[in-house]
Structure 1
Amino acid sequence: MRLSRALAAPIMVGLLTAACGWSPPSPAPTSTAACGPGPAAAALSDEISLLPPAPWTEAARGHAADCRLTWVVVSAGSASDSPQQVLFFDGEKGVGSPTPDPRPYITVTAQGDHDAVVQYQWRQGSEPACCPTGIGSARVTLEDGRLTILDPIPGP
């Protein structure tokens, strides 16, 4: 009897997590002290001008350990399922985005000296906007000043 009670709480937590979708843990904040703040407003504006017209605003930014690969996630709204796009930079030079079209629920984390992982989430069926359960990621890196996508882009 004690064993079943001991298992009840972890099972309930697992069921609740599965019922409302999984949300990734927030990445550890990256310090800009050594790398600086990332691309300047003009460089960011140049890259945003290549996106479909929308009221794009910065949602997050970060960098890889060597400070060369930096990124800015921009969003076209404040709702959790608003379209987003991640823009990568080599210093101040825009090097593109791994996805041609904006998508909601984008998270980027550093991995290695000049690599990052872009995590995508998406709603499946009639899931509420708060709780997408579709999830996948793709690694990106800088090679000769170009953004190289190392994995297939996941998605619905």
Structure 2
Amino acid sequence: MRRFAVLLATGLLAAGCGWSPPSAPPTSTADCGPGPTTDAVTSEFALLPPAPWQESSRGHTADCRMFWVVVDSGDDADSPQQVLFFADGEPVGSPTPEPRPYLSVSPQGDHNAVVQYQWRQGADEPCCPTGIGTARVTLEDGRLTILDPIPGP
């Protein structure tokens, strides 16, 4: 019984430290080729608000049909970001009309990806936004389809 109480207390302490979504298995562009070219990504910058956009991460679905590139416009945590999606090297859009900070993307199953949105609430520090939500995206007929409402403040 004492062992159960210690395990329960340990679990409760860990749960009190804040929630973090489980990490997805790592993706490697080596499995699917290089993905969209630098020129393809850079040409999409013209569709974004003016900023010094730079690539910060990229990935793909397990079936290699959909690639994404996360771009940001600065080095601090609150810098705007945008997720650009591609199919066969061609841009297919973004689920978020306006850039937002704290974006990440992970694969889900063979065909979908999950965009995680975070935002600051109340007195949150830039390092630690407590607002969090996700939206699944997929390709349908070569077009980006958003399967869930975009969360946010």
TM-score by length of 1: 0.88
The 2-side partners of 1:78 and 1:36 are apart by 28
CA contact (8 A) 1:23 1:131 kept: no
Give the C-alpha shift of residue 4 in structure 1.
5.1
SS in 2 for 1:11: helix
Deviation of 1:15 after TM superposition, in Å, equals 2.1
5+ residue gaps, structure 1: none
1:136 aligned residue:
133
Q: Compute the displacement of 1:43 (Å).
A: 0.5
Between the aligned residues of both structures, percent identity stands at 66
Aligned length: 152
What is the 5 A alignment of 1:19-34?
22-34=19-31
Q: Secondary structure at the match of 1:49?
A: helix
Structure 1 runs (4+) greater than 6 angstroms displaced: none
Q: Assess, with a 3 A threshold, how the Cα gap between structure 1 residues 95 and 155 changes in structure 2: closer, same or farther.
A: same
Aligned to 2:59: 62
**Distance in 1 of aligned mates of 2:17 and 2:31:** 41
Superposition deviation, residue 6 in structure 1: 4.7
**Alpha-carbon distance, 1:5 to partner:** 4.9
Structure 2: distance between partners of 1:116 and 1:142: 10
Deviation, 1:31, is: 1.8
Deviation by residue 1:7-42 (Cα, 9 ceiling, x = unmatched)? 43332222232xxxx333443321222311110011
Structure 2 residues without counterparts, runs of 5 or longer: none
Aligned residue identity for 1:125: G
